Structure 1
Amino acid sequence: MKTIFITATLFFLTFFTLSIHAQDTNSSTINDYVVLTKTIEQLQPIILTAKALKQDEGVNFGKFEVIICGKQIGDITSPEKMGDFISKANAAGVQIIACGFSLNKFKVNKTKVPKEIITVENGILYNFQLQKKGYKSITL
């Protein structure tokens, strides 16, 4: 009977110690994010979200990327529509990315894409690749 009690106690202590250690490990995990959007108007709430996450997570906040795809991709070449989103994104640690497939499909002049915006060949594929790397993802 004593042996069963001692074995059970050791089992529970080991289990709870490992559980607590796992929680400690998770608290130092870097969180990376990717958002796929079809409209420039979504940049404002996306940037605000990134700023809030950066403040909440501190050193655990990693990369935050926004991929713009779809038929409104041409809006990224309009200074009036982009406003100061690029400077706000940079200040918040947000990288804006344009989908090359959408730029081609909707015949957007790539030379007019702001230099701060990175272009990838296929935004949807890029999103999946980031998810494979552990990025938390949402599509708006």
Structure 2
Amino acid sequence: MSAAAGTFAAVFASLYVAHSVGDHWVQTSAQSAAKGRPGWVGRLADTRHVATLTLTKLVVLVPVGLLLGLHLSVWGLVAGLGVDAVTHWWADRRSTLAWLADLVGSGGFYRMGAPRPGHDDNPSLGTGAYVLDQSAHHLFLLVGALLIALV
């Protein structure tokens, strides 16, 4: 295995774990509830969420990099975490991901399991929107890990 492949594997694993922690433990209930709202209320809540999420990824990745002796460049970290942060913010605005799901013919899946408008009759994480949200984040974690490993 090449050094870049090993670095990529360690970076991706670190980002994946940090993503799960940052998206589910560090994100506040207020950020989660507001980040998809229209206007500046939603934009600012989403920005606060992505800031703490990105910080969580750094807090996990830097010690892993030091302990494993990974050669991570500042530019690679900026590029990889930057792409991840921008795409995470975009997807978490909710209307943007719903638009993409509709565009590719997955709008029905996106809305699967969602509460009916005006009702709270399915309070669960088991929705199509959640699955597509996490899948999009995982794709860009991969892109971010590649940038971090290769730049």
TM-score (norm. length: structure 2) = 0.29
Which structure would you say has the larger Rg? 1
Structure with more of its chain in strand, by fraction: 1
Higher helix share: 2
